[in-house]
Structure 1
């Protein structure tokens, strides 16, 4: 049986230039029909196809995405060297750096939220439509009447881009440069984190940075997830490099807090960072001492940024509106949609989507607690014997980062909403900690095909079949452990 991806197995040189060709084709697709300010909203694949240049746009997008995904996938076991991985990821990013926004119109939402704040209006209380943003027509309709769901750090960055940009084009360019700065920070941290976790740096850098999701959505799309990842990985690196040292732990906590004030999802790794913060034996007292310093830096960052921005904690309320979109790409939402479809067949309206989402969030909380408790037990037991101290020092980052990666993956899977760029959260951490890559690289490769250049999401045109397929997949993965054959009991030992 042929292994997955064998059909696109390429040598390093062929992969490098196939990916570059793909990036160039995606840039052409963006120029022809990307998420430009004047692009029509509410487009469908059919309307794009019938528009002038539509077939060329879709053709360049499909071939370009396939080339990028195939090139990335073919070297998922690792690039020839870390330097080669950096150079290739950067080469692929160059065309996308000058492309129009691709795959999403969120950058225009950022611009309007920054404009709102720069003009003295609270973006957590007043939606961009009511604030009178002059670029409102570029914002996707679903986000025009919702408060900003991002923390004060990113609102301040967006306002800075508006102030210095002098117009929409300048603002978008600066927002893209801010995203690239976040990626560069993440790139600087990846090798040291990979070495601490015992993973080849050439593989970690390749999986985390060369994925098409980074080039299309974080570079060309200028998503603020890039800033969150940069701060998050930097905070984790400081913890791992300087456990038990007060100044470093306060700094690490501040960096993680800043990541959380860009996107709150970054905060799920904090309990695992607290485990990495402990120096010496793992006791409750040591955890409270070192983890408390980390938490102190985090809380200080949250309070200082919230207060200095003048926005307070209003951003917390904005998080509730991030789930306004209902797409089957989120497993909990898909399950709720299927229950609603089943209810409609018998004349009822169960309104199951909110219930399924709430249940998934409760499940997520339980999973995070279990993951943390397991990591704590592993580390505590490894310090139970005095002569294991050296082994524990080497094991701490692997266990803590592994728990953080699994926690972030669970957060992505169980969130009420999934967009393709959300996969980069888990991908960056899983690339640092996981030996087998197919189980998370394959979904990331598939997610690269979900968004058209103008931001149209293909998932919304297959809502019912997509929800059924996703629900079937959830049931299969949930029941698979129960159906797995059990090993026969060992025969009794002979006496």
Structure 2
């Protein structure tokens, strides 16, 4: 049994986190428990430091009306920017520390869902008005909405087709790249521009608030998902709502993945509860935000089919035909509303322009290229292209195998959908840190062991630190990578060990040593 989180008595963590307790029976709500105020305050301080540092170290504007002139402009250059970067990392460290402390309390049944939700609100609030953190993708979203608003095809041209403060802030990599997002998101992006006008700061804040609706949907869906899938609500909320991945990337970014997983989680819950038409419709809307959600749709069909009568294939056909019809209606309506075509399908490969070793197929291609390059200079793209193609074949095989194993429907179908979404992230041509939230949004509602949760903690820390606060990748700065891996291991161990470095014991021995002996 892993050590307990405190010197006081704690539950046996060797049991799974969905033990039959009063906490589970009440859906994780035990209002008599006090709030973990110190932990919430610690994370809030970290989040405020992230906000302060982001004004100099985040995805700041090329021509900033706030920081471009005046005393705050010192944060953007030279030593001032170095200080801002330091403040961001200090804030992130405090946020992670608070998240781990909160997780210990959740695992020990000392923190309820209410405590996790209050922590989430306190930690997210400063991010709502922060410049983009660890990415510049939101400027691409706004640029694509601006293109559509001007009658240009965002699936045919990039933001550089226009001029102004929004296009000029799009990352150079995506200036000429068509949008790889679905038609519903194009409508969302247009709506944001209509609401905020051409004020880029207001547009970022409005976009963040709109995308935050996805997190609200996910939080609202989790109690029902936990009820069906056997997890604990405080654990699920801690995993996907209070996580630094959510605070820093999904909200601090912000990223449209947040809206996609919100729609998908509500759609999945509706299907589990027998409301198949509305559930498939919402899951289809999620795919109209980002195509990745389509990986889960075949599994929802099995849940529908499992409630019908007759032989397996007859039940499947009676479910799949209406499901396809619902998908066609929803997707067609989204396409007509956005006044765009199907060019986004060809633009799905756009993220593949990025080459980094977080993606398993890309990492293999890079490794093979490095070995071959020992015998002579070669182009990397044939190697990376080949391994990415093999990775796509492997993903299809994993999808088909899991889909067939999910044919009985029920929670098993959702579990396998979550697995496929995880593989969809890691086997994609490029893995960006926030992609890992795809599968976790559904997987969080299942039962978790503390050891498995510690792996999530470590991965979350390492993935956030794979990029610099301004959105540029940091994973080829090897000393920095080593520090990030060390922080990830320490964070993972800290969830299941009260003091993994043994500092309490060391300081305790020091405090008991007579002063004369210390001299």
* TM bracket (short chain): 0.7 to 0.9
SS of structure 1 residue aligned to 2:153? coil
The alignment status of 1:418 with 2:450, answered yes or no, reads no
The alignment status of 1:19 with 2:19, answered yes or no, reads no
Residue number in structure 1 paired with 2:412? 399
SS of structure 1 residue aligned to 2:353? coil
> Structure 1 residue aligned with 2:212, among 165, 172, 180?
180
Query: Normalising to structure 2: TM-score of the pair?
Result: 0.78
The alignment status of 1:137 with 2:150, answered yes or no, reads no
Are residues 66 and 134 of structure 1, via their aligned partners in 2, closer, same or farther at CA, if it must alter by over 3 Å?
A: closer
CA RMSD of aligned residues (A): 2.7
Residue number in structure 2 paired with 1:364? 395
Contact 2:361 2:384 in 1 (8 A): yes
Residue number in structure 1 paired with 2:87? 60
CA-CA distance at 1:126 after TM superposition: 1.4
Alignment of 1:137-216 (within 5 A): 137-167=168-198, 168-216=200-248
> Structure 2 residue aligned with 1:456, among 465, 469, 472?
472
Contact 2:187 2:337 in 1 (8 A): no
Are residues 311 and 374 of structure 1, via their aligned partners in 2, closer, same or farther at CA, if it must alter by over 3 Å?
A: same
> Structure 1 residue aligned with 2:158, among 118, 127, 141?
127
> Structure 1 residue aligned with 2:132, among 101, 112, 116?
101
The alignment status of 1:256 with 2:277, answered yes or no, reads no
SS of structure 1 residue aligned to 2:205? helix
The alignment status of 1:438 with 2:472, answered yes or no, reads no
Residue number in structure 2 paired with 1:386? none
For residues 84 and 291 of structure 1, what CA distance do their matches in structure 2 show? 41
SS of structure 1 residue aligned to 2:121? helix
Alignment of 1:31-70 (within 5 A): 31-38=55-62, 51-70=78-97
Are residues 70 and 292 of structure 1, via their aligned partners in 2, closer, same or farther at CA, if it must alter by over 3 Å?
A: farther
Deviation string for 1:273-317 (max 9, x for gaps)? 112223155722122212332232122212222233221211111
For residues 433 and 58 of structure 1, what CA distance do their matches in structure 2 show? 37
For residues 448 and 320 of structure 2, what CA distance do their matches in structure 1 show? 28
For residues 292 and 308 of structure 2, what CA distance do their matches in structure 1 show? 29
Contact 2:159 2:170 in 1 (8 A): no
For residues 300 and 77 of structure 1, what CA distance do their matches in structure 2 show? 46
Runs (5+) with no aligned partner, structure 1: 41-47, 243-247, 380-395, 470-495
The alignment status of 1:270 with 2:286, answered yes or no, reads no
Deviation string for 1:234-290 (max 9, x for gaps)? 110110111xxxxx3222222111111111111111111112223155722122212
CA-CA distance at 1:159 after TM superposition: 0.9
Are residues 374 and 138 of structure 1, via their aligned partners in 2, closer, same or farther at CA, if it must alter by over 3 Å?
A: same
Residue number in structure 2 paired with 1:330? 359
Residue number in structure 2 paired with 1:224? 256
Runs (5+) with no aligned partner, structure 2: 11-34, 65-74, 486-519
Mean CA deviation greater in 303-312 or 337-346: 303-312
Contact 1:121 1:131 in 2 (8 A): no
Contact 1:16 1:88 in 2 (8 A): yes
For residues 111 and 18 of structure 1, what CA distance do their matches in structure 2 show? 33
